[in-house]
Amino acid sequence: MNSEMNTNKYLEVFIEEATENLQNLNQALLELENNPEEEVINSIFRIAHTLKGMSATMGFTKMSKLTHRMEDVFQEVRNNKIKLDSDKIDILFNSLDALESYLKNIVNHGFEGEEEYDHIIEALESFKNKKEEFTHVTKEETPFTKEQSQITKLNIYEVDVIKKAYEMNLKTYYITVNLDKGCVLKSARAYIIFQVLEKYSEIIRTEPPVEDIEDEKFEFSFSVLIISKYPAESLHKELMSVAEVESINITELTKENTVLDTENTALISRGAKKQEPKGNNFQSIKTKDSTIKGGIGIKDKYAEKIKANTIKTVRVDIQKLDVLLNLVGELIIQKSRLEELYDGKNQAYQEAVQYLERIITSLHEAIMKVRMVPIETVFNRFPRMVRDLSKKLNKEIELNMSGEETELDRTIIDEIGEPIVHLLRNSIDHGIENPEERLAKGKSRKGHVDLKAYQEGNNVIIEVADDGEGINIEKVKQKAIEKGMVTFDEASNMSKNEVINLLFKPGMSTAKVISDISGRGVGLDVVKTKIESLGGAVEVESEIGVGTRFIIKLPLTLAMIQALLVYVGGERYAIPLGSIMKIVKIKSEEIKLVQKREVIFLNDSIVPLIRLNKVLECPNESENGNIITAVVINKGGKLFALAVDSLIGQQEIVIKNLGKYLAGLKFISGGTILGDGNVALILDINYIAAS
Amino acid sequence: MVNIYNTKINKDTGVNTNNDKTIKVLSFVLDDQEYGIDINYITTVIENDYSITRVPGTPKFIKGVINLRGDIVPIMELRNKLKLPPVEDTIDTKVIVVDFNEVLLGIKVDKVNEVIEIPKSSFEPLSSISDDENLEYYQGISKVGDKIIILIDIEKIIEI
């Protein structure tokens, strides 16, 4: 029972970290295809290795088996025994998919499922067996079995320390620790080794850097450069006494076998016989403030600075942030209540409330900032998706992404992925032409899809643009007539924008061939609905032959909005301020009838008048008298006026949903709690506009 | 606002899970008939003194929504749902707030009585003795002492 609970506790951590690692793996694989650098291969190896260890610890044997095979493959790649080509990378992607589906099972059911993915494992194993003739993937590199070798590049401080050590007759050792291949908690093991080392010596540097060792970002060996007064043999003995240590290699750096070059801060060791890490310019040092057991005292400000830069973030459960945000919501409600209690006389009271308001506003902003997540988390998966799609469709497509750092509220981030996927698929499937077709049109062989995100005022804009065919207005018209959505006459009178808007209606698809990528005629209307439910809007610009651009506009945050409170039939309703164009007062004789529908004239344009008390079926009649107050709404260029009883005022409101029981209401998008503790409903302007 | 217990009923630890042979129900009165709701689904019982906001486009038996400690909760007139004749609210009128799979709903009843423990085996299906049109909303009927209690099927009541 107890152990099960422990596993559950770790399961969450496992899922979180595995998700992160899989995402990194995805990115690294994409990078690998374009740019097979050694560094990328190393990072994939590390990720596979980490995943293997993690899943094995959690008892997910299938996952661990698969990652083990991947790790093997990359081991061979690193040793230049396997050359990766596009087909092999495909298989690696398949392995990634398999891992993702394991993880999905773990998330949903707590276990990895039954699927073995034998074909993938076999395919991975076949990499090794084939062992194509040796071709180097990355830049040529000299094998490191040479007699003379360069240990590492040292910075000036380190060189300084070593020089002082010479002067003080202390010994400098370069120690490589090889851990047992079966070692699971490598970083813990490394920690113990550091403990031992610190007892007898001063560690000048580690390879890889300490942070990486702590994060298990190393294979089974790491190296340290230390200064000590003890002989190598006793250090060897002490270190070998640590469990799970396979072997220890100690090389003493003496004045004779070492060249200290302060010019380029390089340390050359002659006659060092062991393997050593490749010569990266690591820049991490571990020193104590001043006194050391070995007897040297050097304070290293540089090292401290590096240390200060680590560990400064905290992982927070999003639910905790939701609670915080809700509490701020409550604060706002209580504040409006205090405002209502103001008797108009007590100056100090008013000042206190105003000060409170300022604090609440700052608090709200601070919490909103915490909830903001870079859109990168959504964009991450697109390169892979575009790659797969273009392969499948035999198109050549280059995806350019920008503004990944743009931040949006977590709630929106969670929802926005699906609409963007739709638009990207749309661009790739319908927009971009075949390479041959493109060449014939004088375009570049490769199609381009741009995915851009940026902030504009209180909105975030996401653009999906392609340089493909563009929307064929005539074809859309024809289709709409075929489907009976518009008559021939209506279609011929439609403006370009009106025709494009038809694409967002359910049941429209102009793809010649229905593919399984898009073209089921469900795409764009779903996109529109989703984005509007997030309080945003979507627009299209298209030029035939040149391309199409979808522009999604989203609010930065969801939870709180500015709204106009109005009375309708004696009831209070909130209208989101963003959609209101202006307020007008009209005399009842100014209302005209067009096809039995009431309209008013506004700057010479005809605006339909909607009597809200009728739409909302208010039990009480509105008492308007001769003058009617109307709120003019602009929804995507379409104007309409909502007749209300009277205006209450503008207010920042906290949006609350009406609960699952009332989900799917028409006209109402949510509720808010007013200062007096009562509920006011928020009007769904999109729905009212559509009806 | 009164909680039926001093503390909220914890659905996880479930007060009445220690004995799976009986079921604890909160009994209430509607049109002189006694009914029961499994207390595991009950969040709280509140007085009928809230101010309610009508929600357009909802069925008649939904009175509207209220602010229950910051949550917006719909209120159902159970008389109306079960097609019983309407009556004036009295001092005894109460709202039982239920939470079924995260669906919050306040159910307005004539009067709330008490929590009673009923052996599960004592429940009989209603269909054998009645052809009430509301049969689908009832889980069973049981005789407790001299009282007859109809157990409400919260899942069915909450279905739209």
What's the CATH code of the domain at A36?
Answer: 1.20.120.160
> For position A271, what pLDDT does the model report?
40
> For position A179, what pLDDT does the model report?
85
Residue A244 in domain: yes
Hey, what amino acid is at B150? Answer: I
Reported as a pLDDT band with limits 50, 70 and 90, residue A278 is: very low
Q: Are residues A108 and A167 in the same domain?
A: no
Q: Are residues A349 and A298 in the same domain?
A: no
**Is residue B16 scored above 50 in pLDDT?**
no
Residue where one domain finishes, among candidates A373, A394, A411: A373
> For position A448, what pLDDT does the model report?
92
Residue A136 in domain: no
**Is residue B14 scored above 80 in pLDDT?**
no
Domain that holds residue A568: 560-690
> For position A292, what pLDDT does the model report?
35
- C-beta atoms of B105 and A681 within 8 A: no
Residue where one domain finishes, among candidates A555, A578, A602: A555
> For position A151, what pLDDT does the model report?
55
> For position A509, what pLDDT does the model report?
57
Between residues A224 and A652, the one the model is more confident about: A224
A659–chain B Cβ distance below 8 A for any pair: yes
Q: Are residues A510 and A636 in the same domain?
A: no
Residue A139 in domain: no
**Is residue A263 scored above 50 in pLDDT?**
no
**Is residue A235 scored above 90 in pLDDT?**
no
> For position A631, what pLDDT does the model report?
93
Residue A142 in domain: no
pLDDT tens digits, A238-254: 888 877 788 888 888 77
CATH number of domain containing A602: 2.40.50.180
> For position A9, what pLDDT does the model report?
64
* Mean pLDDT along residues A686-691: 77
Domain count of the fold of chain A = 5
Residue where one domain finishes, among candidates A80, A102, A130: A130
Reported as a pLDDT band with limits 50, 70 and 90, residue A160 is: confident
> For position A583, what pLDDT does the model report?
92
Q: Are residues A340 and A477 in the same domain?
A: no
Q: Are residues A573 and A669 in the same domain?
A: yes
| Per-residue burial over A319-355, b = 16 or more CB atoms within 10 Å of its CB, e = otherwise | eeeeebbeebbebbbebbeeeeeeeeeeeeeeeebee
Percentage of chain B modeled with pLDDT above 70 = 84
Residue B111: strand, helix, or coil:
strand
Give the one of A571, A657, A667 whose C-beta lies nearest to B54's C-beta: A571
A49 labelled catalytic: yes
**Is residue A581 scored above 80 in pLDDT?**
yes
Residue A665: strand, helix, or coil:
coil
* Mean pLDDT along residues A605-620: 87
Q: Are residues A251 and A289 in the same domain?
A: yes
Q: Lowest-pLDDT range, A188-202, A504-518, A570-584, B4-18?
A: B4-18
**Is residue B62 scored above 90 in pLDDT?**
yes
Contacts (Cβ under 8 Å, ≥6 apart) of B138:
B126, B132, B150, B151, B152, B153
A71 labelled catalytic: yes
**Is residue A308 scored above 80 in pLDDT?**
no
On whether the CB atoms of residues A357 and A335 are closer than 8 A, the answer is yes
* Mean pLDDT along residues A411-422: 86
Reported as a pLDDT band with limits 50, 70 and 90, residue A301 is: very low
User: What is the side-by-side order of every strand in the sheet holding A148-153?
Assistant: A148-153, A266-270, A258-261
Tell me how close the Cα of B32 comes to any Cα of chain A, in angstroms.
28
- C-beta atoms of A619 and B54 within 8 A: yes
Tell me how close the Cα of A12 comes to any Cα of chain B, in angstroms.
20
CATH number of domain containing A542: 3.30.565.10
Hey, what amino acid is at A655? Answer: I
**Is residue A206 scored above 90 in pLDDT?**
no
pLDDT tens digits, A638-673: 889 999 998 998 887 878 878 778 877 888 988 888
- C-beta atoms of A326 and B58 within 8 A: no
Cα separations in angstroms, A135 against A44, A77, A138, A339? 20, 10, 9, 76
Q: Lowest-pLDDT range, A280-284, A319-323, A367-371, A542-546?
A: A280-284
**Is residue A32 scored above 70 in pLDDT?**
yes
Q: What mean pLDDT value characterizes chain A?
A: 77
pLDDT tens digits, A89-148: 888 888 888 888 888 888 877 777 777 788 888 888 777 665 444 444 433 333 433 333
Q: Are residues A215 and A171 in the same domain?
A: yes
Q: How far apart are CA B37 and CA B151, in angstroms?
A: 6
pLDDT tens digits, B74-128: 999 999 888 888 889 899 999 999 998 878 899 999 999 999 998 888 888 877 6
Q: Are residues A324 and A220 in the same domain?
A: no
Residue A135 in domain: no
- C-beta atoms of B103 and A660 within 8 A: yes
Of residues A557, A581, A560, A575, the one with CA closest to residue A652: A560
Q: Are residues A467 and A611 in the same domain?
A: no
pLDDT tens digits, A328-340: 877 877 887 787 7
A565–chain B Cβ distance below 8 A for any pair: no
β-pair partners for A600: A607
CATH number of domain containing A228: 3.30.70.1110
Hey, what amino acid is at A488? Answer: F
Q: What mean pLDDT value characterizes chain B?
A: 82
Between residues A591 and A652, the one the model is more confident about: A591
- C-beta atoms of A668 and B66 within 8 A: no
Residue A388 in domain: yes
* Mean pLDDT along residues A1-19: 65
**Is residue A75 scored above 70 in pLDDT?**
yes
Q: Which of A426, A501, A613, A686 is catalytic?
A: A426
Q: Are residues A441 and A550 in the same domain?
A: yes
Q: Taking CB atoms and an 8 Å cutoff, what residues of chain B touch A679?
A: 53, 65-67, 72
Percentage of chain B modeled with pLDDT above 90 = 35
Tell me how close the Cα of B106 comes to any Cα of chain A, in angstroms.
11
> For position A140, what pLDDT does the model report?
38
- C-beta atoms of A673 and B70 within 8 A: yes
> For position B38, what pLDDT does the model report?
92
Between residues A559 and A56, the one the model is more confident about: A56
Domain spanning B15-158, CATH architecture: Beta Barrel (2.40)
Q: Are residues A457 and A592 in the same domain?
A: no
Q: How far apart are CA A326 and CA A461, in angstroms?
A: 26
Contacts (Cβ under 8 Å, ≥6 apart) of A392:
A517
Residue in chain A closest to B50 (alpha carbons) equals: A678
Backbone angles phi, psi at A483, to 5 degrees: -80, 0
- C-beta atoms of A661 and B104 within 8 A: yes
Give the one of A330, A618, A678 whose C-beta lies nearest to B53's C-beta: A678
Q: Which of A21, A42, A71, A532 is catalytic?
A: A71
Tell me how close the Cα of B48 comes to any Cα of chain A, in angstroms.
15
B145–chain A Cβ distance below 8 A for any pair: no
> For position B130, what pLDDT does the model report?
66
**Is residue A173 scored above 60 in pLDDT?**
yes
pLDDT tens digits, A343-359: 778 888 888 888 888 89
- C-beta atoms of A618 and B56 within 8 A: yes
Residue A98 in domain: yes
> For position A257, what pLDDT does the model report?
64
Paired tokens of A664? 């799917």
